[in-house]
Amino acid sequence: MTIKAAAGSAIGNRYRANFDAHRLNLEPLVAVVADGMGDGPGSAMAGRTTVDIMAAVQPTVAGIRNAVMAAHTEVGEFGRKLGSLAGCTLTALMEGQDGFLVVQVGDSRLYRLRAGLLEILTVDHTMA
């Protein structure tokens, strides 16, 4: 199997700066994207911190679950100290020993392009 991967982000039309963070490693595949909520320091910290924690995790279900909880705790503490919003969405694809693991929290998305067909692989998590 040949895997080609790309990661990137665009500022969009809503905010003055880009508060997204991402990491892409190919051997083994680790693709992580976090989209900061809002446009302040809590948004920037949440995205970068979450990506860093997730990119360092052992790609197992338990390892990923612990990393998500660690990111949640660290970002939450920062938000409380800041007295403002601190949060992000998270989407990740990680190659483990038994296959690929997907992490999905929020409304960032994971797509697969295969044989010219683009498929969305995740479902947005929203309050709605």
Intervals of the chain under pLDDT 70: 1, 127-128
Q: What is the CATH number of the domain that holds 116?
A: 3.60.40.10
Distance CA 23, CA 16 (A): 22
pLDDT tens-digit series, residues 53-74 = 999 999 999 999 999 999 999 9
Instruction: Specify if 3 maps to a domain.
Output: no
For the chain, the domain total comes to 1
Question: pTM for the full model?
Answer: 0.86
Instruction: Specify if 80 maps to a domain.
Output: yes
Q: Biggest alpha carbon distance in the chain?
A: 48
Question: In a 3-state reduction of DSSP, which class is residue 105?
Answer: strand
Question: In a 3-state reduction of DSSP, which class is residue 46?
Answer: helix
Residue 88's φ and ψ, nearest 5 degrees, are -160, 165
Domain that holds residue 97: 20-120
Instruction: Specify if 6 maps to a domain.
Output: no
